[in-house]
Amino acid sequence: MASLLRPLYWAVWVSPRRRARKLLQFAQVEADGSRDLVRAAELTSDAALRRRLFAHARDETRHAALFRARGLALRTTLPKDPSENSFADWIAPGERGLDDVFVEDEDDSALLAFIHLSETAAARDFALYSSVLGHDPPTRAVFNRILRDEESHMRYSLAELDRIAPGRRRILLWKARLRRIWKAYLRLAMALAGMIAAVLLTLQYFILLPPFALLAKRAARRERPGWTVIPATGHDDLDRQY
């Protein structure tokens, strides 16, 4: 599968402008992930796990700085382009961090299972990105450095999972996997629903709204600029939504 995706990822990463933008986006995701890990550390009552989570959060902050520095360095080599867009950014996702999890709602073992899977996925993706970045050694070096950390995160999360929930590793990881699949389905379904809604609303906009738009524009032309006097009555009635 990875070898099949290589040409696609190569195409995504070959453009320096897109590369810079994606690195800056990754920096944001890593920073958000760090905040989630800090929150998890604040909530756990297990002192040893708290220390691990803080250390992990520090790594994520460092990754954010690495991605950001490299992204900014790449940007300085590019001419300014105000029409820069984010087409096809979804093809090569960054680390998802814990953005899919409400840290407050999870117990320590479920959270660790989620972290482990998340780091495994990130390590796989980053290894793939690194493999197509032969033409940009500094960016490849950033991915390789972060990849080493991700592998360390995979190990500690598994070790902690075994310590906190001995003998339950398999079931917890499977539960986490199923939840990730369910959340991916929800994301897809929401995106699809959003697209359908956008199409229907856009059709309504062009079919139904023009006569009302004419009336609204005519009313707007009649409005005087400046102050509008507020009538003395009516505002104190709190039962109305209108």
Which residues bind to another protein, rule: CB under 8 A? 24, 31, 35, 38-39, 41-43, 47, 50-52, 54-59, 71-72, 75, 80, 82, 104, 149, 152-153, 155-156, 159, 194, 197-198, 201-202, 205-206, 209-210, 212-213, 215-217, 220, 225-230, 232, 235-236, 238-242
Nearer to another protein, 59 or 125 (CB): 59
Nearer to another protein, 48 or 178 (CB): 48
Residues in the chain: 242
CA distance 26 to 119: 14
Nearer to another protein, 1 or 207 (CB): 207
Angle at 123 between CA 192 and CA 137, to 5 degrees: 105
Asked whether the beta carbons of 108 and 163 are under 8 A apart, the reply is no
Least Å distance, CB 21 to another protein, is: 9
CA distance 9 to 91: 8
Nearer to another protein, 9 or 21 (CB): 21
Least Å distance, CB 128 to another protein, is: 23
3 state SS for 74-95 = HHHCCCCCCCCCCCCHHHCCCC
